Amino acid sequence: MSCFAVLLFCFSIREEQAARAVTSGEFLMSSNTFGKLFSVTTFGESHGPAIGCVIDGCPPGLEIAPEEFRHDLRRRATGLSRHTSARREKDEVEILSGVYEGVTTGTPIALLIRNTDARSKDYDNIAKQFRPGHADYSYWQKYGIRDPRGGGRSSARETTMRVAAAVIAKKWLAQRHGISVRGFLAQLGPIVPQGFDWNEVETNPFFWPCQAQVPELEAYMDMLRKSGDSVGARVNIVVDNVPPGWGEPVFGKLDGELAGALMGINAVKGVEIGDGFASVIQQGTMHRDEIRLEGFLSNHAGGVLGGISTGQQIRASIALKPTSSLRLPGRTVDVDGNEVGVVTKGRHDPCVGIRATPIAEAMAALVLIDQALRHRAQCADVEIMCPRIPRGEG
């Protein structure tokens, strides 16, 4: 075959692959859609009239009412304590389609939330400046334009719709498989939990698992707010009752998709599955999770082996960077090429990690429902002959 013929052949394969990808929905411009069989497209900006999402592929027959979105949206909301941004949104979900008489019909579900408390003038002074550490510079370099009001599309306001979509995902996962997806704040700046009780996570504004430390957290946050600075955080996610077998080697591995989804949350700079980076200094005899018929003896892997769930608890952890919008003056450049000083006004979270807990739960739930439907599509007829190992210590 001549070089020309080889080139032509390669081109036709690439074209065919691209066409297949487009028609199968694998290749969607411009990455505002997440998931293959339970796919969520979000739209909207922080200070636009509304934000929303379209969920395609939701199984029919699931009861869902607008009130059911309130709990998780409130957990994500600002303005509920002095330790998060003071913006107060009602976050009332309107269900525009895909639900008839309170039950999902299998057709696309459109959800809408109107923005009601935007204060765009706070952003006038930075409309043409690049906040160091924020997405302003990179958005300009990519699109040649950006909506500066409240950070536009790069604002965590967008994650409201991920949380809303995940209310449906969490409900289906719980009803169908008894799965619970829970998260908590595992570190706030230098402070780490000194005790652990799931019951305490929801009783304080930090999602902190040790109530006795809440005064310490409040004092730290008050000090931080007065100083005008911000701080990073760690959020842990724990998923119970995922059956063994979910995940698609090699490019749709469960841990790979979880990592990608969690990394896709604003301000996330690191993701660990199981022991994560602590594995670096572990030895194989310690890290491997030994198996007995009565259960796994440990869970260093975080519930995923070979990209497939083992039936153990799934554990992930994310690192969130400190908020970049600061009222403390910093140095930057503007769109016209001038070196300038920058001061950010407006209402901001001094620690974005505090509100990230329900968002991380949401992304994990969206990955899991998608993987559940994909596993059902490919492997529903497979008969498993080997023993199923209880999760045991893990």
Q: Which of 352, 363, 369, 373 binds ligand FMN (CB under 6 A)?
A: 352
Near ligand FMN by CB under 6 A, which window of 166-174, 265-273, 295-303, 333-341? 265-273
Contact call for residue 42 and ligand FMN (CB under 6 A): no
The distance of closest approach from Cβ of residue 122 to ligand FMN in the complex, given in angstroms and rounded to an integer, is 11
CA distance 50 to 161: 11
Contact call for residue 259 and ligand FMN (CB under 6 A): no
- In b/e form, how buried is each residue of 153-188, taking b as 16+ CB within 10 angstroms? bbbbbbbbbbbbbbbbbbbbbeeeeebbbbbbbbbb
Q: Restricting to residues 56-115, name those near ligand FMN by CB under 6 A.
A: 85
Residues 6+ apart with CB under 8 A from 199: none
Q: Which of 304/356 has CB closer to ligand FMN?
A: 356
CA distance 45 to 115: 9
Contact call for residue 201 and ligand FMN (CB under 6 A): no
Token pair in block for residue 81 = 């304590």
Give, to the nearest 10 degrees, the angle between helix 159-177 and helix 353-379. Answer: 50
CB atoms under 10 Å from CB of 365, counted, come to: 30
Q: Coil, helix or strand for 171?
A: helix
CB atoms under 10 Å from CB of 147, counted, come to: 19
Q: Restricting to residues 306-325, name those near ligand FMN by CB under 6 A.
A: 321, 323-325
Q: Which of 110/318 has CB closer to ligand FMN?
A: 318
The distance of closest approach from Cβ of residue 152 to ligand FMN in the complex, given in angstroms and rounded to an integer, is 9
Near ligand FMN by CB under 6 A, which window of 101-109, 148-156, 280-288, 311-319? 148-156
Q: Is 213 exposed, middle or buried (0-12, 13-18, 19+ CB in 10 A)?
A: buried
Question: x/- contact string, 152-181, with ligand FMN (CB under 6 A)?
Answer: --xxx-------------------------
Contact call for residue 266 and ligand FMN (CB under 6 A): yes
Contact call for residue 134 and ligand FMN (CB under 6 A): yes
Token pair in block for residue 206 = 């930090």
The distance of closest approach from Cβ of residue 322 to ligand FMN in the complex, given in angstroms and rounded to an integer, is 9
Q: Which of 80/305 has CB closer to ligand FMN?
A: 80
Q: Restricting to residues 332-351, name those near ligand FMN by CB under 6 A.
A: 348-349
CA distance 170 to 72: 10
The distance of closest approach from Cβ of residue 371 to ligand FMN in the complex, given in angstroms and rounded to an integer, is 23
Residue type, 123: Y
Enumerate the H helices of the chain as residue ranges: 3-24, 70-76, 136-143, 159-177, 198-201, 214-227, 254-263, 284-287, 353-379
Near ligand FMN by CB under 6 A, which window of 90-98, 170-178, 261-269, 276-284? 261-269
Residue type, 248: E
Contact call for residue 118 and ligand FMN (CB under 6 A): no
Contact call for residue 46 and ligand FMN (CB under 6 A): no
Q: Which of 355, 362, 370, 375 binds ligand FMN (CB under 6 A)?
A: 355
Footprint on this chain of ligand FMN (rule: CB under 6 A): 85, 134-135, 151, 154-156, 265-267, 321, 323-325, 348-349, 352, 355-356, 359
